[in-house]
Amino acid sequence: MAKKRSRKSKKKSNSWVLGLLFVILSFLLLYFAFSLKILPDKYMQPFCVTLLVIDLVMFLALLIIKKTFVKVLAILGCVCFLYGSISLSGTKQLLNDVSVDYSISNYAIVCLKSSSFSRLEDLNNKKLGLLNDEKDALKRLKIQYTTKLYTGLDILGHSLMNKEVDAVLLDHSYFEMLKEDESLASFVDSTKVIYEFKVDVKEPNIKKDVNTTSDNFAIYISGVDTYGSVAERSRTDVNMVVVVNPKTKQLLFVSIPRDYYVTLSGKNAKDKLTHSGVYGIDTSVGTIEELLDININYYFKVNFTSLIKIVDALNGVDVYSTYTFTSKDGYHYQKGYNHVDGKEALSFVRERKAFAAGDRVRNQNQQALLEALFRKAISPSIIVKYNNLLNSLKGSFVTNMPTSRMTALIKMQLNDQAKWTISTANLDGTGSYQYTYSYKTIKLYVMIPNTSTITSAKELIKSVYDGKKLTSAYSDSVTHVNKVTKATNKTSSKITYTITIVDDKITKQVKVNANEKLSIPQEGGKDGYTFIGWYLNNQPYDFNSVVNSNFVLEARYELNENILTGPPLDVMDSGANDISDEDNNQ
């Protein structure tokens, strides 16, 4: 009898403990939901009431019914509450972690391979070449040395090759930049790294904080050309400004070519926009602010690893392609919507060689992918992928947008479930070769800005800020999604494209296999005119590029009196082929 009472007492005690644990974990979930400040009031209030009712019912059921299935339900409830609490806690931690005020510089001490130096100590009392006055980095070198400061990366590279210094201090981001100088093509093979270290560089506070649910604001999207830590300084492969009007639910994507020839903020000198990233995010932001005459409130910085992880966490996205083409990596995309995974998405936004318009089309593809990511992120399907997305975002981006502003935006979208209008603008220019701030002795390929496209972008930005609705660049619904295929050497030869050749009044078509070059056509001639070249979209065609799309090639002639038969051509130097210096790292 006493044993029966003991068993009953033990069961009652277990029910009390389980019921108390159920209530505690439910309140823990409630705490994180409140502290995150993401759920709108219209959801939060019913959520609280529902949770309290569930607590009461479950607690009474455990004490009164005392059946096994009730305990099983209570245990499952505890597991769900704990899982939800961990997820919300992770979200809060993630939003806090991505707001950073520093960048990482990876430094290397580089010597000639032919030298006898093999460790840092061997450079004691030797001469060290520097590009900038790297005070923070030099503090890490526990040796005696003398320094020589150089004004250009090319000059620094040649100083080591010519043995003017014993070693040079280089940020890792400079290694790829050195490849842009053909005279330094052997630099990497002729040198060795004898010491490496990292330095956290304090970034200046450049955010211009606003209420993101009621005020207009602009975000700079910086895509750096590296894998690994997104906080590392590097060249900016993607440069996009997202202009936001939260009241009218309007987004404007403004893309700027990586090789745009601009005045670097704080340097008072011209350089390629892509180089601004190695001098700090504040240089990139300030440069674009001056170019577009706009205040950039916040920035988001991502890299190649980030993109792959985010797209895969979303189980892929449906991105729109203006062209049918095959990327350098062998992925084949159809004109229209294509479902891409992480690697396919990265190849899609990096490809430029497949297009005669080069970087111009790539900028459009980058905008299309951002639209696809945004569309997927605000869809109801995101809920079931929430935890995967949360894990993928860890370490995937950094921003100076305060956590409170990010959560306010999420809360606003959950509250109104609004559809956003997304428009695009693309700055354009003409190829040229010019001296840059980074390179003092050689000319690099750059793109001279077309002022009319800059003016047009400024007008569109003003329209968004004034509350005017722009035309959407994308369809409201996604239909007929293509599957991306991976081309092999065997299959890619079977893919052919049609090139339409227009020579005065004569038109003919030729077929070219994918990834093969187009042979230079024989011009037919035109009485009283001189042939000046083959053109594609008002730019001289580069016959060294491979064919990966259909296009029209047009013969251009000039009157013997030097009057053009068509509209004036704004072509500068030999750079009009849009031959970017990034070819070495793509």
Q: What is the pLDDT of residues 486-511, one digit of tens each?
A: 866 544 446 778 888 888 777 788 88
Q: Which sign does the torsion angle of CA 152, 438, 167, 184 carry?
A: negative
Q: Could you tell me which CATH number the domain at 495-585 has?
A: 2.60.40.4270
State the DSSP string of 80-131: HHHHHHHHHHHHHHHHHHSB-SEEEEEEEEEEETTSS--SGGGGTTEEEEES
Q: Could you tell me which CATH number the domain at 217-309+357-474 has?
A: 3.40.630.190
* pLDDT at residue 62, rounded to an integer: 81
Phi first, then psi: give them for residue 320, nearest 5 degrees.
Answer: -90, 130
Q: Which helix (H) or strand (E) holds 270?
A: strand 269-272
pTM reported for the whole predicted model: 0.74
Q: What is the pLDDT of residues 459-478, one digit of tens each?
A: 999 999 999 989 988 887 88
Cβ neighbours of residue 46 closer than 8 Å, sequence gap 6 or more = none
* pLDDT at residue 384, rounded to an integer: 57
C-beta separation of 269 from 283 below 8 A: no
Cβ neighbours of residue 389 closer than 8 Å, sequence gap 6 or more = 310, 313, 314, 382
**What ranges make up the beta strands (E) of 330-453?**
331-333, 336-340, 397-399, 421-426, 429-434, 444-449
pLDDT of 16 strictly over 90:
no
Smallest CA-to-CA distance from 345 within 336, 357, 333 is with 333
Helical axes 304-313 vs 342-350, angle rounded to 10°: 140
Q: Which helix (H) or strand (E) holds 485?
A: strand 485-486
Q: What integer best gives the mean pLDDT of the chain?
A: 82
Helices (H), 238-354: 281-292, 304-313, 342-350
C-beta separation of 243 from 216 below 8 A: yes
**103-202, what's its fold?**
D-Maltodextrin-Binding Protein; domain 2 (3.40.190)
pLDDT of 358 strictly over 80:
no
Tell me, what amino acid is at 562? N
C-beta separation of 92 from 41 below 8 A: no
The alpha carbon of 504 is separated from its chain's Cα centroid by a whole number of angstroms, namely 43
pLDDT of 286 strictly over 70:
yes
Least confident of 223-232, 280-289, 320-329, 384-393: 384-393
